[in-house]
């Protein structure tokens, strides 16, 4: 298939490109930097609409808590700009392993990290959008202020729609103060139900826990953080963040409440939650534990240990390993039960985030039916990494019940009646 890439420099050009595609009845693969092409189903399109030319921050007003940027603006540009003013995207989006990634891609993929449980997801921070519908029309939705209920909340619909509704050209996001300090309490040696029970206790406390994960022994051993890898068994993580005196006080209270075994200071805490955020331990086909890195240097100004386990290969692209990576969202208390059900028939490796509500797991090929049967109607399972050929023939996203699928198709058609934008990326025919 001959691939032509259209790379507009302006929103008007992007609209023109979509109108051309519409008239030629040629579907477009909508791309930012392409760093997340491995998420979702592969798009069958002869042409790509590359929006990375629409780059630049239009307005950043820290005191208003908003940032407006063209959709193709690299996250590598936005992140330091926010950090310089002590702010961040509070939903803790995963970072592309090789760097890269654009604001538009981040919102379109609807990604969020461990702080999802307290700060919400990408959808909760998407305030305004502009873009080109599959009708080739430029339009906008939402606003550029943090509180707005005027009209339908289209930015939320765009978050996680994988470019199937609109080629985004501009995005306004809510930005929030980044925590001044952070620490993580560790509990050693708990089994899955016991760990999720303790995470529940932590999350039921009034201490604003912002991360709650559990790493079974095999996963913990692969952490690049020595205290975690060296625990010699399962490790349960409870994170607190905020102002220094508050973190100190809450760590003391939680340590007593949870009978925690150890506490990670700022740098180790940051390192281990990066691993949780990116599912870093499942970066390559599982082939036994990596050698433990030496303990990080102690003392003031110590450089965080960056010798972490290998980061995930480019999601799907060129990744030919045996096992596939999944993320399951379930009611937190049922997480251990869902995993146990899966483990009765499949050899999988897994860890929990979101207090038990998010299960990352690597499973052998052809596990979709077993995984989804275990999740049932109370949650959803997404295949987040597998070779293109596998994702092309697998329901990557949770199949929807018929009435919801029918509505989904109508929603798609209301933005993109001819199926020009990223056809099939989410569901066949959507």
Partner 1 sequence: MKMPVPDGGIIARRRAIVDALRAIVPGEGVIVDENELRAYECDGLTAYRQLPLVAVLPSTVEQVSQILKTCKDMGVKVVPRGAGTSLSGGALPLADGVLLGMGKFKRILDIDYANRCAVVQPGVTNLGISNAVAHEGFYYAPDPSSQIACTIGGNIAENSGGVHCLKYGLTTNNVLGLEMVLIDGTVLRLGGKHLDQGGYDLMGIVTGSEGLLGVVTEVTVRILKKPATARAVLIGFPSSEQGGDCVAAIIAAGIIPGGMEMMDRPAIHAAEAFVHAGYPLDVEALLIVELDGPAAEVDHLIERVEAIARSKGCVSARVSTTEEERLAFWAGRKAAFPAVGRISPDYYCMDGTIPRKALPLVLQRMQEMSARHGLRVANVFHAGDGNLHPLILYDANKPGELETAEEFGNDILRLCVEVGGVLTGEHGVGVEKRDLMTDQFDAADLEQQQRLKCAFDPDGLLNPGKVFPTLHRCAELGRLHVHKGELRFPDIPRF
* 407 touches partner 1 by CB under 8 A: yes
Nearer to partner 1, 129 or 309 (CB): 129
User: Which of residues 77, 249, 270, 390 is near partner 1 by CB under 8 A?
Assistant: 249
| Tokens, residue 252 | 């003391």
Identify the three-state secondary structure at position 229. helix
Listed residue (385, 299, 372, 308) closest to 342, CA to CA: 372
Nearer to partner 1, 229 or 238 (CB): 238
Q: Report in angstroms how near the CB of residue 241 gets to partner 1 at its nearest.
A: 11
* 79 touches partner 1 by CB under 8 A: no
- The phi and psi torsions of 160 (rounded to 5 degrees) equal 85, 15
* 180 touches partner 1 by CB under 8 A: yes
* CA–CA gap between residue 186 and residue 263 (Å, rounded): 6
Query: Which range binds partner 1 by CB under 8 A, 13-21, 26-34, 287-295, 303-311?
Result: 13-21
User: Which of residues 341, 382, 388, 392 is near partner 1 by CB under 8 A?
Assistant: 382
Nearer to partner 1, 292 or 394 (CB): 394
CA distances from 55 to 72, 76, 97, 402, 417 (A): 5, 12, 21, 39, 28
CB-based contact 369:231 (threshold 8 Å): no
User: Which of residues 43, 82, 203, 225 is near partner 1 by CB under 8 A?
Assistant: 203
Nearer to partner 1, 291 or 402 (CB): 402
- Side-chain half-sphere exposure of 422, counting CA atoms within 13 A: 29
Contacts to partner 1 from residues 261-320, by CB under 8 A? none
User: Which of residues 97, 143, 193, 289 is near partner 1 by CB under 8 A?
Assistant: 143
Query: Which range binds partner 1 by CB under 8 A, 136-144, 214-222, 302-310, 340-348?
Result: 136-144
- The phi and psi torsions of 51 (rounded to 5 degrees) equal -95, 10
* 207 touches partner 1 by CB under 8 A: yes
Helix intervals (H) in 290-386:
335-345, 368-375
Residues 6+ apart with CB under 8 A from 200: 332, 333, 355, 356
Contacts to partner 1 from residues 214-243, by CB under 8 A? 242-243
User: Which of residues 76, 97, 140, 392 is near partner 1 by CB under 8 A?
Assistant: 140
- What mask of x and - would describe binding to partner 1 in positions 20 to 59, judged by CB under 8 A? x-xx-----------------------------x------
Nearer to partner 1, 171 or 426 (CB): 426
* 255 touches partner 1 by CB under 8 A: no
Q: Report in angstroms how near the CB of residue 192 gets to partner 1 at its nearest.
A: 15
343-345-350 Cα angle (round to 5): 25
User: Which of residues 217, 226, 270, 333 is near partner 1 by CB under 8 A?
Assistant: 333
Contacts to partner 1 from residues 105-124, by CB under 8 A? 110, 116-117, 120-121, 123-124
Q: Which residues of 192-218 are buried (b: 16+ CB within 10 A; e: fewer)?
A: bbebbbbbeebbebebebbbbbbbbeb
User: Which of residues 56, 84, 99, 137 is near partner 1 by CB under 8 A?
Assistant: 137
Q: Report in angstroms how near the CB of residue 129 gets to partner 1 at its nearest.
A: 11
Longest CA span, the chain: 66
* CA–CA gap between residue 369 and residue 212 (Å, rounded): 28
User: Which of residues 259, 297, 404, 428 is near partner 1 by CB under 8 A?
Assistant: 404
Look up residue 294 and give its DSSP letter. Answer: P
Q: CA torsion 203→209→210→216, rounded to 10°?
A: -60
């Amino acid at each position: 298939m001959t691939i032509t890439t259209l790379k507009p420099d302006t929103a008007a050009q992007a609209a023109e490109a979509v109108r051309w595609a519409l008239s030629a009845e040629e579907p477009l693969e909508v791309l930012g930097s392409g760093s997340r092409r491995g998420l979702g189903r592969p798009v069958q399109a002869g042409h790509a609409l590359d929006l990375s030319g629409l780059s630049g921050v239009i307005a950043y007003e820290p005191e208003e808590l908003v940032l407006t940027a063209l959709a193709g603006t690299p996250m590598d540009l936005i992140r330091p700009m926010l950090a310089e003013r002590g702010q961040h995207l509070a939903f803790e989006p995963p970072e592309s392993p090789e760097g890269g990634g654009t604001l538009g891609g981040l919102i379109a993929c609807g990604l969020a990290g461990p702080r999802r449980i307290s700060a919400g997801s990408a959808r909760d921070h998407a305030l305004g959008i502009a873009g080109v519908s599959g009708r080739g029309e430029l339009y906008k939705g939402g606003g550029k202020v943090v509180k707005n209920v005027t009209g339908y909340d289209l930015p939320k619909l765009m978050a996680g729609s994988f470019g199937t509704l609109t080629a985004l050209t501009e995005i306004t996001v809510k930005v929030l103060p980044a925590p001044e300090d952070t620490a993580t309490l560790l509990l050693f040696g708990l089994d899955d139900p016991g760990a999720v029970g303790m995470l529940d206790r932590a999350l039921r406390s009034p201490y604003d826990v912002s991360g709650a994960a559990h790493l079974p022994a095999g996963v913990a051993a692969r952490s690049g953080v020595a205290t975690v890898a060296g625990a010699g068994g399962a490790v349960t993580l409870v994170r607190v963040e905020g102002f220094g005196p508050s973190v100190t006080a809450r760590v003391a209270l939680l340590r007593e409440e949870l009978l925690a075994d150890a506490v990670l200071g700022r740098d180790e805490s940051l390192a281990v939650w990066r691993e949780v955020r990116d599912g870093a331990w499942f970066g390559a086909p599982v082939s036994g534990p990596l050698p433990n890195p030496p303990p990080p240097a102690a003392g003031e100004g110590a450089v965080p240990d960056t010798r972490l386990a290998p980061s995930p290969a480019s999601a799907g692209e060129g990744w030919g390993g045996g096992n596939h990576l999944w993320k399951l969202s379930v009611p937190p208390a049922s997480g251990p039960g869902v995993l146990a059900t899966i483990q009765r028939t499949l050899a999988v490796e897994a860890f929990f985030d979101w207090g038990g509500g998010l299960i990352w797991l690597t499973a052998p090929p052809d596990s979709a039916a077993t995984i989804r049967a275990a999740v049932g109607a109370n949650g959803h399972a997404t295949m987040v990494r597998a070779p293109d050929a596998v994702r092309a023939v697998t329901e990557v996203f949770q199949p929807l019940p018929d009435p919801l699928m029918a509505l989904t198709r109508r929603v798609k058609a209301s933005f993109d009646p001819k199926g020009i934008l990223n056809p099939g990326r989410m569901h066949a025919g959507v």
